[in-house]
Amino acid sequence: MLTRRGRKYRDFRARHRQNDGMRDIAAPQERRRFVGIDLARFIAIVGMMSAHLLSGLAADPNAMLVGRLLNVAEILFVASTAATTFAVLGGVSLVLLTRSMRGAPAWRIYISICIRGVAIALIGWGLMQLNSPISVVLPYFGIAMIIAATALWLPSWVIGAIAAVLWVFGAAVNARVRAGLAAIPVDTTPSIPEQIARSARDLLLTGHYPAITWVAYMLTGILLARLLLRARRDGTLRRVTLWLWVAGLAVFLFLTAIGRVARYRPAWFGLPTGLDDQVLAGARGAPPGTDLWMLLMPSAHSGSPADMLRTVAGACFLIGLLVMLFDAGRPRGGFVLEAIRCAGAAPLTIYSAHVIATAAVSHWRTQQFIEGHPVSPDLPLWNFVIQVACVLAIGAVLAMLRRRGPLEALLGLVSGSSRIKRRTG
């Protein structure tokens, strides 16, 4: 007969073996890739492509009806949301990347992320030299990644507090700085130090995708990734993602409707009448002015609190829905789903190819105009269709080869993250 101490030891060993078994089962699950995250990246990239390529079709009576309808849908639901979803997913990717390098020192992980961010910014700078009509996001993305990565080792409540401060005050600071710069005469022959300072200012504040805004988006993505990982570990992923996409959709539709009504009926909200439509339609990285109503309007690409809440809600809707459908259940998508997932897992390759192709078509179209040759009004639509088909083809090739995108593989090699994964994983 076992003594009391013997029974306690037996029960302890039984619990220990059970916990070991649970860890063995949970470990592969925690390392499993989120299919919904890759699919969300794919949709975000296609959304940005539609914003770049379909712009203006809705106002062209000579364009095909399908192109005009796609442009209207892009204006209503995609404008600024696709790019900001890309930023939120950047924060999610930071968490997933660091988890794949668990066991390495924190300083080594951060240096790897910094190298990765600099490489992304340099690739973006190279793409900007093509004089594409696209405002290339990669330099801003790379710098925001380096800044946001410092929060990876902070408690979630601290990250939330920092993101809240950037949400509430970032747009006001940005608008104030821009208003002050507008009153200063522009130096047409700046020195090299002045050019460097101006570039740094653009990346942090005055550019189209300023870091003061995009860091807040990435911090939100870090919190979102932690929420999803915790829910998957606790077995509550389906319930959490259901609430995420339902709440995200409700907030997104409400603020989108408010923005539409305010744009066409400003008097209903006590806004000044006779405003330029562009003031309410959108901005280039900051609110159009420092007035309070300008800071509260959900204008696209303005970084105002309302715009950030709207676009983050849209990102939560997309991510929550796709993760619920493709990670919380047992979907059977076959090769088609895998091709789309692989395309979404190669965002740098896909985005770079999109910028290069768009620049080539833009230069050809300009040359045709100079030479007096007519260009079909449906060229933007066909350009969009062909580029999406090429994206799917790239995804299919990557799925068949079981490879990462070439630029993603290059980033892993240059930053050393691939070597860290092999040594720690």
Q: How many other C-beta atoms are found inside a 10 Å radius of the C-beta of residue 21?
A: 10
CA atoms within 13 A on the CB side of 97: 30
Number of structural domains found in the chain: 1
Contact 211, 140 (CB under 8 A): yes
Please indicate whether residue 404 or residue 12 has the higher confidence score (pLDDT): 404
Contact by Cβ (8 Å): 315, 309: no
More confident residue, 139 or 6: 139
Nearest Cα neighbor of 350 from 67, 52, 31 is: 52
Amino acid type, 351: Y
Whether 416 is in a domain gets the answer yes
Length reported for the chain: 425
CA distance linking residue 249 with residue 312, whole number of Å? 10
Residue 384 located in a structural domain: yes
What are the b/e assignments for 381-397, b being 16+ CB within 10 Å?
bebbeebbeebbebbbe
Asked whether residue 376 is domain-assigned, the answer is yes
Which of residues 178 and 401 earns the better pLDDT score?
Answer: 401
Top pLDDT among 329 and 412 is at 412
Q: Measure the CA–CA gap between 13 and 19, rounded to whole angstroms.
A: 10
Residue 275 pLDDT > 70, yes or no? Answer: no
Task: Return the top range by mean pLDDT from 22-31, 94-103, 249-258, 350-359.
Answer: 350-359
* Alpha helix (H) residue ranges in 204-304: 211-234, 237-264, 277-281, 292-296
Instruction: Indicate if the pLDDT at residue 14 is higher than 80.
Output: no
- pLDDT (mean) for 155-164: 94
The answer, yes or no, to whether residue 124 has pLDDT greater than 90, is yes
Report residue 104: phi and psi, to 5°.
Answer: -85, 155
228-250: pLDDT as tens digits: 999 999 989 999 999 999 999 99
Q: What's the Cα-to-Cα distance from 212 to each of 64, 97, 207, 285, rounded to whole Å?
A: 40, 23, 10, 10
Q: What is the pLDDT of residue 88?
A: 95
The torsion of the CA quartet 235, 238, 239, 244, rounded to 10 degrees, works out to 130
Closest CA to 85 of 232, 220, 243: 220
Q: What angle do CA 275, 278, 282 make, to 5 degrees?
A: 125
Task: Look up residue 101 and give its DSSP letter.
Answer: T
Q: What is the mean pLDDT of the chain?
A: 81
Residue 4 domain-assigned? Answer: no
pLDDT class of 7 with cuts at 50, 70, 90: low
pLDDT tens-place string over residues 162-221: 999 998 888 778 777 776 766 566 666 777 777 788 888 888 887 788 888 899 999 999
Is the residue at 390 inside a domain?
Answer: yes
Q: Which of 86, 226, 214 is nearest to 152 (CA)?
A: 226
DSSP alpha helix (H) spans, 265-405: 277-281, 292-296, 305-326, 334-344, 347-370, 379-401
Nearest CA among 380, 414, 425 for reference residue 58: 380
Hey, CA dihedral for 330, 334, 338, 340, is it positive or negative? Answer: negative
The region of weakest confidence among 171-185, 196-210, 270-284, 358-372 is: 270-284
Q: What is the pTM of this model?
A: 0.84
Most confident range, picked from 40-44, 52-56, 130-134: 40-44
Residue 15 within any structural domain of the chain? no
DSSP three-state, residue 282: strand
Q: Tell me, what amino acid is at 284?
A: R
Lowest mean pLDDT among 37-51, 140-154, 264-278: 264-278
State the residue range of the domain holding 405: 35-182+191-424
Cβ–Cβ under 8 Å, residues 39 and 323 = no
**For residue 145, which of 173, 123, 177, 172 has the smallest C-alpha distance?**
123
How many other CB atoms are there within 10 angstroms of residue 47's CB atom?
A: 22
Say whether pLDDT at 54 is over 70: yes
Quote the pLDDT of residue 23. 35
How many C-beta neighbours within 10 Å does residue 214 have? 31
- Decide if pLDDT at 29 tops 60: no
Q: Determine the pLDDT at residue 240.
A: 93
Does the CA dihedral 279-284-289-290 come out positive or negative?
positive
Q: What percent of the chain has pLDDT over 90?
A: 38
For helices 334-344 and 35-53, what crossing angle results, to 10°?
Answer: 70
Residue 22 maps to a domain:
no
- Whether 167 is in a domain gets the answer yes
Q: In the predicted model, is pLDDT for residue 356 greater than 60?
A: yes
